[in-house]
Chain A
Amino acid sequence: MIEVRNQDTLLEVRGLHTYFYTYEGVVKAVNSVSYRLNRGEITGLVGESGSGKSVTAQSIIRLVKAPGRIVEGEVWLDGQDLMSCSEAEMQTVRGRKISMIFQEPRAALNPLFTVGDQISRVIQLREGCSRSVAERHAVEMMRAVEIADPDRRASAYPHELSGGMCQRVMVAMALSANPLLLIADEPTTGLDVTVQAQVLDLIRLRVKSAGSACLFITHDLGVVAELCERVIVMYAGRVVEQGPVAEIFSNPRHPYTQGLIASTLRVDIDKPISTIPGTVPDAVHLPSGCTFHPRCPFAEELCQQEEPQMVEAGRDHTTRCHIVSGRIEREMLEEAWTLETA
């Protein structure tokens, strides 16, 4: 395991399974997921609601809520096996080695403390320094994330700040621990585009300058194209395709990735509105074989019967599809996604 580790690899997830044992049945939210994150790189994790992207992140920091449970899998962070850590050891991993930015900054911040207090507490915990030193450091962090007038804003409560400002505070808090790994779960969903651009710039700058790795969870392919070096595409709990950003966008091999790219509307070019037919499957009763087959325009009998394995689709590019692996001989035509014009 450790021998095969690439020097640049910071996080390696292997065969991760996280299931939710619900009243209706077992939900395989994360099903045999494996990937690596490299230092200094931002990796985008894309998928629609219910694809398991957030649960993957929660599994890494071992904060899956009941009835969810990590059933199987290994998570290695910088040579440390997180799955065999004690809860006390995990406490030091969270916050010091891994920080997380959540989608709703207001819900993630404590409404009863000023934002300066909340940032300085993180610094105090990490550095073991005095409160006054931590407070000074907190103001510096707020300045670093481009909060205007940080001295005054440090004594503001979350409700006194706008959504974009709260998200900057979250970024400041997450980065003040100088983490090896930053996990950002839809950090710009709900922010206005002009503010989103600012927050993305900030994350990019801080990750690059600190040489840490970032797992950026989003449903917006535009954000991935602008920010990330690598992409992981998830569908119904499984990774269906992963590879370098340029490769995935110019040569997507999995039909789901193709459909996702085709149905993303763009402001810069005119094209007809494409859609993927059908809806995301019910998590308890997943389709047999390839979980995407009921919505796939290229599906054949084999796709219903047998689940495809992950295969090479290019340099550093893997996907899970019978057509790519050559089990089914068929051409995937781009026209399949542009059935009608708007």
Chain B
Amino acid sequence: MEFPTQGPMMTKANGEAFVQIRNLRKDFPIRVGMFSHVRLRAVDDVSFDIPKGSTLGLVGESGCGKTTAGRCLLRLIEPTSGEIRMGEHNLTDLRSEQVAQMRGRMQMVFQDPGGSLTPRMTIGAILREPLDLHTNLNAHEKDQRVRQLLSQVGLQEDHLSRYPHQFSGGQQQRIGVARAIATHPDFIVLDEPTSALDVSVRGQILRLLTQLQEEMGLTYLFISHDLSVIKHTCNQVAVMYLGRIVEIGSTEEIFGSPTHPYTQALLSAVPIPDPTQRGKERLKLPGEVPSPIDLPPGCRLYSRCPYRRDACLEPGPPLLQVGGSHKAACILVDENIHFGGGNTAAALSRLDQAHDRV
């Protein structure tokens, strides 16, 4: 397989950042009235690294900017500012034709498996298309590669001449995955790949993704609103709220000792499939996510946060070190207060005590 721009990408050592995002920002103009616009900052100063062969989970509720961030990374939409590096390449410097040449190395798997496959193309044609665009293989080699892809994702050869609607949701997503890995990419953005699937099938797709990652050394950005899926598939997790990363760290750090009030609330809102756990104390956030238009400079959670104070209205807060690779954007981290497992009352009283001492 030949690529138009063959770099020293594959020789990168493990553990080193393969995908590097620095200060990524994306603004959308929103029309208000006939001539005026306001700015919607969908992604605000987002930075993270993903080491080669590992998975970073981007988690948050609808409208937090996680999908926009994922699309900016692949330059499917143009970021307003910031830097995106993949291996040796600075994607933000490339012209759009050069980005098009890079597409074989960075792919995406979409949320709606049926909607992301062309209904009038057979599976064979769908899988051959990326090979036509990004490789110099001859017809016979392409044919071989398509058959190999089918077996890699657990489909049969007689599926080649069928159309997308003849498959179940799980099988359609397998086709979506096969298409994404067709050109031997290095990096795949998985945008809610299992949200539309039934519970019993979801595990099959997650396993397939993990297995392919091991076989092909793939680097993933896993976008999801489902914390349980993130927990089981990712090495690192970044939690987003209204365009900003509010907490980032290893999966153990985020799930073991969530520090930002938003992460705590998000985790404690997830229903636990065990009736004996019912009635556990929860950190509840009142209200809903506010409109992302013209937000004030302070902490984005201010309007819903049970721990808020006046200092939270000042610009920022930056991501502060909690420990190891674990960072949280909350001024209370600085006050060195650890809220215990989503227990609002206890945390608040500890907070008040700490405040009295000051």
Residues on the A chain within 8 Å of B61, using CB: 192-194
Query: Which residues 232-277 of A have a CB within 8 angstroms of B?
Result: 245-246, 249-250, 259-261, 263-268, 270, 273-277
Contact present for A48 and B200 (CB under 8 Å): yes
Can you list 26 contacts pairing A with B, beta carbon distance less than 8 Å?
A: A49-B169, A163-B62, A193-B270, A194-B265, A194-B285, A196-B269, A198-B284, A219-B199, A222-B271, A225-B277, A227-B271, A246-B275, A249-B273, A263-B199, A263-B202, A263-B203, A267-B228, A268-B277, A270-B231, A273-B207, A275-B203, A279-B171, A295-B200, A340-B207, A342-B207, A342-B233
Of B62, B168, B203, B269, the contact of A197 (CB 8 Å cutoff): B269
Contact present for B200 and A276 (CB under 8 Å): yes
Contact present for B273 and A221 (CB under 8 Å): yes
Residue on A with the closest CB to B270? Answer: A267
Instruction: How many A-B residue pairs have C-beta atoms within 8 angstroms? Tell me.
Output: 129
Of A195, A197, A280, the contact of B198 (CB 8 Å cutoff): A280
A323 contacts partner chain B, Cβ-Cβ < 8 Å = no
Contact present for B198 and A222 (CB under 8 Å): no
Residues on the B chain within 8 Å of A219, using CB: 198-199
**Binary contact readout B279-298 vs A (1 if CB under 8 angstroms, 0 otherwise):** 00010110111000000000
Residues on the A chain within 8 Å of B227, using CB: 193, 267
**Binary contact readout A321-342 vs B (1 if CB under 8 angstroms, 0 otherwise):** 0000000000000000000101
Of A48, A193, A245, the contact of B266 (CB 8 Å cutoff): A193
Query: Which residues 198-238 of A have a CB within 8 angstroms of B?
Result: 198, 200, 219-227
A295 to B204, CA, bound (A): 13
A139 to B53, CA, bound (A): 55
Residues on the B chain within 8 Å of A277, using CB: 204
Beyond the given A265-B232, A275-B200, A342-B232, please list 11 additional residue pairs across the A-B interface where CB-CB is below 8 A: A197-B269, A197-B271, A221-B199, A225-B277, A263-B203, A265-B203, A270-B231, A273-B203, A275-B203, A279-B201, A295-B200
Of A163, A194, A295, the contact of B269 (CB 8 Å cutoff): A194
Residue on B with the closest CB to A192? Answer: B61
A63 to B61, CA, bound (A): 34
Contact present for A226 and B278 (CB under 8 Å): yes
A165 contacts partner chain B, Cβ-Cβ < 8 Å = yes
Contact present for B288 and A195 (CB under 8 Å): yes
Looking at the assembled complex, report how far the CB atom of B55 sits from the nearest CB atom of chain A, in whole angstroms: 12
A164, A223, A264 — most chain B CB neighbours (10 Å): A264
Residues on the B chain within 8 Å of A249, using CB: 273-276
Residues on the B chain within 8 Å of A246, using CB: 275-276
B210 contacts partner chain A, Cβ-Cβ < 8 Å = yes
Q: Chain B: interface residue count, which band?
A: 35 or more
Looking at the assembled complex, report how far the CB atom of A295 sits from the nearest CB atom of chain B, in whole angstroms: 8
Residues on the B chain within 8 Å of A80, using CB: none
Looking at the assembled complex, report how far the CB atom of B289 sits from the nearest CB atom of chain A, in whole angstroms: 7
Residue on A with the closest CB to B255? Answer: A267
Contact present for A260 and B232 (CB under 8 Å): no
Residues on the A chain within 8 Å of B270, using CB: 193, 222, 267
A277 to B269, CA, bound (A): 30
A192 to B63, CA, bound (A): 10
A94 to B3, CA, bound (A): 64
Which secondary structure dominates chain B's binding surface? helix
Residue on A with the closest CB to B200? Answer: A276
A249, A250, A263 — most chain B CB neighbours (10 Å): A263
Query: Which residues 187-209 of B have a CB within 8 angstroms of A?
Result: 198-204, 206-207
B327 contacts partner chain A, Cβ-Cβ < 8 Å = no
A284 contacts partner chain B, Cβ-Cβ < 8 Å = no
Residues on the B chain within 8 Å of A194, using CB: 61, 265-266, 269, 284-285, 288
B170 contacts partner chain A, Cβ-Cβ < 8 Å = yes
Interface residues of A (CB under 8 A from B): 48-49, 148, 162-165, 192-198, 200, 219-227, 245-246, 249-250, 259-261, 263-268, 270, 273-277, 279-280, 295, 340, 342
Interface residues of B (CB under 8 A from A): 61-62, 168-171, 198-204, 206-207, 210, 225, 227-229, 231-233, 255, 265-267, 269-278, 282, 284-285, 287-289
Residues on the B chain within 8 Å of A225, using CB: 271-275, 277-278
A152 to B75, CA, bound (A): 42
Contact present for B284 and A261 (CB under 8 Å): no
Contact present for B269 and A266 (CB under 8 Å): no
Looking at the assembled complex, report how far the CB atom of A125 sits from the nearest CB atom of chain B, in whole angstroms: 30
A295 to B198, CA, bound (A): 15
A252 to B146, CA, bound (A): 42
Of B201, B225, B265, B267, the contact of A267 (CB 8 Å cutoff): B267
Residue on B with the closest CB to A339? Answer: B207
A292 to B255, CA, bound (A): 36
Residues on the A chain within 8 Å of B233, using CB: 342
Contact present for A342 and B198 (CB under 8 Å): no
Which 6 residue pairs spanning A and B have beta carbons closest together?
A222-B271, A275-B203, A276-B200, A265-B228, A192-B61, A48-B198
A164 to B269, CA, bound (A): 15
A283 to B285, CA, bound (A): 42
Contact present for B266 and A266 (CB under 8 Å): no
Residues on the B chain within 8 Å of A279, using CB: 168, 170-171, 201
Looking at the assembled complex, report how far the CB atom of B332 sits from the nearest CB atom of chain A, in whole angstroms: 19
Residues on the A chain within 8 Å of B170, using CB: 279
Of B206, B228, B278, B288, the contact of A266 (CB 8 Å cutoff): B228
Residues on the A chain within 8 Å of B269, using CB: 193-194, 196-197
Of B231, B232, B284, B289, the contact of A192 (CB 8 Å cutoff): B289
A162 to B63, CA, bound (A): 11
Residues on the A chain within 8 Å of B229, using CB: 265
Looking at the assembled complex, report how far the CB atom of A246 sits from the nearest CB atom of chain B, in whole angstroms: 5
Looking at the assembled complex, report how far the CB atom of B192 sits from the nearest CB atom of chain A, in whole angstroms: 12
Contact present for A192 and B225 (CB under 8 Å): yes
Residues on the B chain within 8 Å of A342, using CB: 206-207, 210, 232-233
Looking at the assembled complex, report how far the CB atom of A105 sits from the nearest CB atom of chain B, in whole angstroms: 14
Residues on the B chain within 8 Å of A200, using CB: 271
Residues on the A chain within 8 Å of B232, using CB: 265, 273, 342
A222 to B287, CA, bound (A): 22
A273 to B208, CA, bound (A): 11
